[in-house]
């Protein structure tokens, strides 16, 4: 068979090489994040002991006397996350269940775009919402509430992650084979019994993956907490007080004029490292669970 010149096939190898490089960018991004965070974090821990970092209860790197205890930022972050989960997990799950088991096609066609709109709203807009609408409402119920408080921010972070919970959970629920539902209906089960007795358990791993990913998203959320939760790192569990999260602290530092290479500058990377580690672990867990349930039904 004679070999002919193939004008359009000549550069195949070159093209594949370029495409491969595109895919490598994503690896470089991850490597870049880890190296950047690690380098400055190591610099940070040359000056501050790890013991102080995790046991000290005050976080005041920006003024004297400096204290470097990350606990207040962690409790602040956890309070926001817990509050957001309290809002988003039940509402998101119920929404998913309604969309997958109850809604007619018409209703679904109307509601899903609305949820997509909710998911597409920029976080700074949610921050505005927390500050101008939700916090005043809380203050009218609890007058002692600070203008900046964990509760308002947490509720709005929760609203923000509802679409994430509902769409991922709904995916998991629609992946449940119809035959399972039909088997239950044929035994005389009502729609509620099918929903809670068949669909929810069968979709459980997918739903829990959606919870994990949504929680990770809440931990990393920045603008809502920067605008509405305050900038006072404080070891408290009172949601009506002003607090500070890890993300909000990072914003606070970068808004100021912190000199490059100073210890204040390095706190930014140390806190960033903590944030990255936390969300990274959750994301990997979520991805593994999602993959497992996909394997079950596909």
**Least spacing, CB of residue 65 vs another protein, in Å:** 26
CB of 55 to another protein, least distance (A): 25
CB 245 within 8 A of CB 267: no
Window 108-127: residues binding another protein (CB under 8 A): 111, 114-115, 117-118, 120-127
Residue 250 contacts another protein per CB under 8 A: yes
- Minimum CB–partner distance for residue 12 and another protein (Å): 5
Question: DSSP readout, 190-255?
Answer: -HHHHIIIIIHHHTHHHHHHHHHHHHHHHHH--HHHHHHT-S-------TTS----HHHHHHHHHH
Burial of 259 (0-12, 13-18, 19+ CB in 10 A): exposed
Contact set for another protein, span 75-104 (CB under 8 A): 90-91, 94-95, 97-99, 102
Distances (CA, A) of 206 to 147, 210, 216, 245, 285: 38, 6, 15, 29, 12
Beta-bridge partner residues of 68: 59
Asked if 18 touches another protein (CB under 8 A), the answer is yes
- Beta carbon of residue 70, minimum distance to another protein (angstroms, whole number): 16
Side-chain-side CA neighbours of 9 within 13 Å: the count stands at 4
Residue number with CB closer to another protein (69 or 274): 274
User: Which is nearer to another protein, 107 or 237 (by Cβ)?
Assistant: 107
Please choose, out of 18-26, 57-65, 138-146, 174-182, the segment that lies near another protein by the rule CB under 8 A.
Answer: 18-26
Q: Pick from 30, 49, 55, 262: which binds another protein (CB under 8 A)?
A: 30
Q: Is 38 in the site for another protein (CB under 8 A)?
A: no
Which lies closer to another protein via its Cβ, residue 75 or residue 195? 195
Chosen residue from 207, 213, 229, 289 binding another protein by CB under 8 A: 213
The distance of closest approach from Cβ of residue 275 to another protein in the complex, given in angstroms and rounded to an integer, is: 6
Give the shortest CB-11-to-another protein separation in angstroms: 8
Total number of residues that touch another protein (CB under 8 A): 90
The neighbouring-strand residues paired with 298 are none
217 closest CA partner among 92, 34, 100, 96: 92
Q: What is the dihedral of CA 203, 206, 210, 211, to 10 degrees?
A: 70
Binding another protein (rule: CB under 8 A), the pick from 220, 230, 233, 239 is 220
Q: Which residues, in sequence order, are CB contacts of 246 under 8 Å at separation 6+?
A: 70, 73, 74, 76, 77, 219, 271, 274, 275
């Amino acid at each position: 068979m004679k070999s002919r010149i193939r004008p359009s096939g000549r550069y195949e190898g070159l093209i594949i090489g370029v495409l491969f490089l595109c895919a490598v960018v994503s690896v470089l991004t991850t490597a870049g994040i880890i190296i950047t965070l690690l380098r400055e974090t190591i610099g940070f821990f040359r000056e501050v002991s790890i013991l102080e970092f995790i046991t000290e209860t005050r976080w005041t790197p920006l003024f004297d006397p400096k204290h470097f205890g990350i606990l207040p930022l962690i409790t602040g972050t956890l309070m926001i996350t817990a509050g957001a989960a309290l809002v988003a997990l039940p509402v998101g799950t119920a929404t998913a269940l309604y969309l997958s088991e109850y809604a007619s096609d018409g209703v679904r066609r109307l509601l899903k775009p609305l949820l997509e709109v909710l998911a597409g709203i920029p976080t700074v807009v949610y921050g505005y919402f927390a500050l101008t609408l939700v916090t005043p409402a809380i203050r009218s119920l609890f007058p002692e509430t600070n203008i900046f408080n964990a509760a308002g921010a947490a509720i709005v972070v929760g609203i923000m992650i509802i679409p994430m919970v509902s769409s991922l959970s709904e995916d998991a629920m629609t992946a449940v084979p119809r035959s399972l539902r039909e088997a239950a209906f044929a035994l005389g089960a009502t729609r509620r019994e099918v929903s809670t007795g068949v669909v929810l358990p069968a979709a459980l791993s997918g739903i829990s993956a959606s919870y994990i990913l949504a929680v990770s998203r809440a931990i990393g959320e920045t603008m809502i907490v920067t605008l509405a939760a305050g900038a006072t790192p404080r070891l408290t569990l009172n949601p009506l007080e002003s607090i500070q999260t890890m993300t909000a602290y990072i914003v606070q530092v970068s808004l100021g004029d912190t000199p490059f290479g100073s210890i204040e500058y390095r706190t930014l990377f140390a806190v960033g490292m903590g944030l990255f580690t936390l969300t990274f672990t959750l994301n990997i867990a979520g991805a593994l669970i999602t993959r497992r349930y996909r394997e079950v039904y596909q």
